[in-house]
Amino acid sequence: MQNEIALDKIRLRTFPDPILRKRSGEVEVTQQVKEAVKRMAGIMYANNGIGLAAPQIGVNLRMFLVDTGDGLIEFINPTIVPLKSRMTKMEEGCLSVPGVGVEVRRIDKIKVSACDSSGRPFVREFSGLKARAIQHENDHLDGKLIIDYLNPLSRIVVEGKFRRGGKKQKKTCEVACYDGEGRTRRS
Protein backbone atom coordinates (compact mmCIF):
# COMPACT_ATOMS: atom_id res chain seq x y z
CA MET A 1 0.00 0.00 0.00
CA GLN A 2 1.48 3.35 -1.03
CA ASN A 3 -0.10 6.77 -0.71
CA GLU A 4 0.68 9.31 -3.39
CA ILE A 5 -0.28 12.75 -2.17
CA ALA A 6 -0.18 15.77 -4.47
CA LEU A 7 0.99 18.19 -1.76
CA ASP A 8 0.83 21.14 -4.20
CA LYS A 9 -2.91 20.49 -4.72
CA ILE A 10 -3.77 20.70 -1.01
CA ARG A 11 -6.49 23.28 -0.40
CA LEU A 12 -9.88 23.38 1.26
CA ARG A 13 -12.48 21.60 -0.90
CA THR A 14 -16.15 22.52 -0.87
CA PHE A 15 -19.31 20.79 -2.05
CA PRO A 16 -19.94 19.70 -4.85
CA ASP A 17 -16.23 18.75 -5.29
CA PRO A 18 -16.44 14.99 -6.10
CA ILE A 19 -13.43 14.27 -3.81
CA LEU A 20 -15.74 14.87 -0.82
CA ARG A 21 -18.00 12.00 -1.92
CA LYS A 22 -15.30 9.34 -2.41
CA ARG A 23 -14.63 6.65 0.17
CA SER A 24 -11.07 7.19 1.44
CA GLY A 25 -8.42 4.45 1.54
CA GLU A 26 -6.22 3.14 4.35
CA VAL A 27 -3.12 5.19 5.16
CA GLU A 28 0.47 4.04 5.21
CA VAL A 29 2.31 6.63 7.32
CA THR A 30 5.06 8.20 5.21
CA GLN A 31 6.95 11.50 5.30
CA GLN A 32 4.42 12.80 2.76
CA VAL A 33 1.53 11.79 5.03
CA LYS A 34 3.16 13.66 7.94
CA GLU A 35 3.52 16.76 5.76
CA ALA A 36 -0.14 16.50 4.68
CA VAL A 37 -1.21 16.22 8.36
CA LYS A 38 0.81 19.34 9.19
CA ARG A 39 -0.88 21.30 6.39
CA MET A 40 -4.29 19.96 7.41
CA ALA A 41 -3.72 21.31 10.95
CA GLY A 42 -2.71 24.70 9.52
CA ILE A 43 -5.91 24.91 7.46
CA MET A 44 -8.05 23.76 10.41
CA TYR A 45 -6.65 26.40 12.78
CA ALA A 46 -6.73 29.16 10.14
CA ASN A 47 -10.48 28.50 9.80
CA ASN A 48 -11.19 28.10 13.56
CA GLY A 49 -12.47 24.57 13.00
CA ILE A 50 -12.45 22.02 15.80
CA GLY A 51 -11.72 19.28 13.27
CA LEU A 52 -10.74 18.59 9.68
CA ALA A 53 -10.65 15.42 7.58
CA ALA A 54 -8.19 14.62 4.77
CA PRO A 55 -10.80 14.55 1.94
CA GLN A 56 -11.58 18.18 2.81
CA ILE A 57 -8.09 19.15 1.65
CA GLY A 58 -8.31 16.92 -1.43
CA VAL A 59 -6.59 13.83 0.03
CA ASN A 60 -8.68 10.62 -0.03
CA LEU A 61 -6.97 8.93 2.91
CA ARG A 62 -8.48 7.74 6.20
CA MET A 63 -7.17 10.41 8.56
CA PHE A 64 -8.52 13.44 10.40
CA LEU A 65 -7.69 15.87 13.19
CA VAL A 66 -9.69 17.12 16.15
CA ASP A 67 -8.92 19.92 18.61
CA THR A 68 -11.81 21.07 20.79
CA GLY A 69 -9.58 23.47 22.70
CA ASP A 70 -7.29 21.22 24.74
CA GLY A 71 -4.80 20.02 22.16
CA LEU A 72 -4.54 18.42 18.75
CA ILE A 73 -5.40 14.72 18.35
CA GLU A 74 -4.44 12.92 15.13
CA PHE A 75 -6.56 9.99 13.97
CA ILE A 76 -5.05 7.79 11.27
CA ASN A 77 -6.93 4.67 10.08
CA PRO A 78 -9.54 5.11 12.85
CA THR A 79 -12.11 2.51 13.88
CA ILE A 80 -15.04 3.77 15.95
CA VAL A 81 -17.19 1.68 18.26
CA PRO A 82 -20.30 3.31 19.83
CA LEU A 83 -20.53 2.87 23.61
CA LYS A 84 -23.79 2.49 25.52
CA SER A 85 -24.87 6.11 25.98
CA ARG A 86 -27.57 8.60 25.00
CA MET A 87 -28.07 10.26 21.63
CA THR A 88 -27.55 14.04 21.55
CA LYS A 89 -28.59 16.65 18.99
CA MET A 90 -26.58 19.68 17.92
CA GLU A 91 -26.47 21.97 14.93
CA GLU A 92 -23.19 21.30 13.10
CA GLY A 93 -21.36 23.33 10.51
CA CYS A 94 -18.82 22.12 7.94
CA LEU A 95 -16.03 24.03 6.21
CA SER A 96 -16.82 22.02 3.06
CA VAL A 97 -20.49 23.08 3.09
CA PRO A 98 -20.12 26.79 3.96
CA GLY A 99 -23.05 28.67 5.36
CA VAL A 100 -25.13 25.58 6.17
CA GLY A 101 -26.06 24.40 9.67
CA VAL A 102 -27.65 20.98 10.14
CA GLU A 103 -28.99 19.47 13.34
CA VAL A 104 -27.37 16.03 13.67
CA ARG A 105 -28.18 13.27 16.16
CA ARG A 106 -25.10 11.38 17.34
CA ILE A 107 -24.17 8.96 20.10
CA ASP A 108 -22.53 10.66 23.12
CA LYS A 109 -19.77 8.13 23.90
CA ILE A 110 -17.45 6.24 21.59
CA LYS A 111 -14.28 4.16 21.69
CA VAL A 112 -11.71 4.86 18.98
CA SER A 113 -8.75 2.77 17.84
CA ALA A 114 -6.34 4.65 15.57
CA CYS A 115 -2.72 5.71 15.28
CA ASP A 116 -1.01 9.10 15.21
CA SER A 117 1.25 10.49 12.48
CA SER A 118 4.26 8.79 14.11
CA GLY A 119 2.51 5.47 13.57
CA ARG A 120 1.87 4.98 17.32
CA PRO A 121 -1.41 3.11 17.90
CA PHE A 122 -3.87 4.12 20.63
CA VAL A 123 -7.31 3.21 21.96
CA ARG A 124 -9.26 5.96 23.72
CA GLU A 125 -12.78 6.74 24.82
CA PHE A 126 -14.38 10.09 24.02
CA SER A 127 -17.64 11.80 24.93
CA GLY A 128 -19.51 15.04 24.34
CA LEU A 129 -18.26 17.53 21.73
CA LYS A 130 -15.09 15.55 21.03
CA ALA A 131 -17.08 12.39 20.32
CA ARG A 132 -19.35 14.44 18.04
CA ALA A 133 -16.43 16.00 16.16
CA ILE A 134 -14.80 12.56 15.69
CA GLN A 135 -18.03 11.13 14.25
CA HIS A 136 -18.44 14.15 11.93
CA GLU A 137 -14.85 13.81 10.66
CA ASN A 138 -15.16 10.05 10.31
CA ASP A 139 -18.24 10.59 8.10
CA HIS A 140 -15.97 12.53 5.71
CA LEU A 141 -13.80 9.41 5.27
CA ASP A 142 -16.85 7.58 3.92
CA GLY A 143 -17.91 10.45 1.66
CA LYS A 144 -20.73 11.51 3.97
CA LEU A 145 -21.61 15.18 4.59
CA ILE A 146 -23.92 16.98 7.07
CA ILE A 147 -26.42 17.68 4.26
CA ASP A 148 -27.06 13.90 4.16
CA TYR A 149 -28.76 14.32 7.56
CA LEU A 150 -31.31 16.82 6.18
CA ASN A 151 -34.79 15.67 5.26
CA PRO A 152 -34.98 14.80 1.52
CA LEU A 153 -36.72 18.02 0.46
CA SER A 154 -34.36 20.39 2.32
CA ARG A 155 -31.44 18.44 0.95
CA ILE A 156 -32.58 18.90 -2.65
CA VAL A 157 -33.01 22.65 -2.06
CA VAL A 158 -29.58 23.09 -0.40
CA GLU A 159 -27.72 20.91 -2.93
CA GLY A 160 -29.40 22.73 -5.79
CA LYS A 161 -28.20 26.10 -4.49
CA PHE A 162 -24.59 24.84 -4.33
CA ARG A 163 -24.73 23.22 -7.78
CA ARG A 164 -26.02 26.44 -9.30
CA GLY A 165 -23.22 28.28 -7.51
CA GLY A 166 -25.84 30.53 -5.96
CA LYS A 167 -24.90 29.73 -2.37
CA LYS A 168 -22.78 32.56 -0.99
CA GLN A 169 -19.40 31.38 0.35
CA LYS A 170 -20.38 32.55 3.80
CA LYS A 171 -17.81 31.91 6.52
CA THR A 172 -18.47 28.78 8.52
CA CYS A 173 -16.83 26.39 10.98
CA GLU A 174 -16.06 22.67 11.13
CA VAL A 175 -18.60 21.06 13.50
CA ALA A 176 -18.29 24.10 15.79
CA CYS A 177 -15.84 26.98 16.07
CA TYR A 178 -12.82 27.23 18.33
CA ASP A 179 -12.01 30.75 19.43
CA GLY A 180 -8.38 30.03 20.31
CA GLU A 181 -8.88 30.70 24.02
CA GLY A 182 -10.03 27.31 25.15
CA ARG A 183 -13.66 27.98 24.37
CA THR A 184 -15.72 26.49 21.61
CA ARG A 185 -18.85 27.96 20.19
CA ARG A 186 -21.38 26.78 17.69
CA SER A 187 -20.83 27.68 14.05
Contact range with Zn ion by CB under 5 A, out of 39-47, 92-100, 108-116, 118-126: 92-100
Instruction: Work out how close the CB of 96 gets to Zn ion at its nearest, in angstroms, rounded to a whole number.
Output: 5
Choose among 64, 79, 51, 67: nearest CA to 117.
Answer: 64
Contact range with Zn ion by CB under 5 A, out of 74-82, 87-95, 104-112, 161-169: 87-95
Cα–Cα separations (whole angstroms), residue 47 to 35, 44, 169:
19, 5, 13
Closest to Zn ion by CB, 50 or 112:
50
Closest to Zn ion by CB, 3 or 47:
47
Alpha-helical regions (H) of 12-127:
31-46
Instruction: Work out how close the CB of 22 gets to Zn ion at its nearest, in angstroms, rounded to a whole number.
Output: 15
Classify the C-alpha dihedral 135-105-99-176 as positive or negative: negative
- 20: contact with Zn ion by CB under 5 A: no
Instruction: Work out how close the CB of 14 gets to Zn ion at its nearest, in angstroms, rounded to a whole number.
Output: 10
Residue 35: alpha-carbon gap to chain centroid:
18
Catalytic-labelled residue, pool 137, 159, 174, 181: 137
DSSP 41-65: HHHHHHTTBSEEEGGGGT--BSEEE
Rounded Cα distance, 1 and 70, in Å: 33
- 104: contact with Zn ion by CB under 5 A: no
- 94: contact with Zn ion by CB under 5 A: yes
Contact range with Zn ion by CB under 5 A, out of 36-44, 72-80, 88-96, 110-118: 88-96
Residue 137 appears among annotated catalytic residues = yes
CB 85 within 8 Å of CB 71: no
Count of chain residues binding Zn ion (CB under 5 A): 1
Rounded Cα distance, 46 and 106, in Å: 27
Instruction: Work out how close the CB of 126 gets to Zn ion at its nearest, in angstroms, rounded to a whole number.
Output: 17
Query: Which residues carry out catalysis?
Result: 137
Q: Which residues bind Zn ion (CB under 5 A)?
A: 94
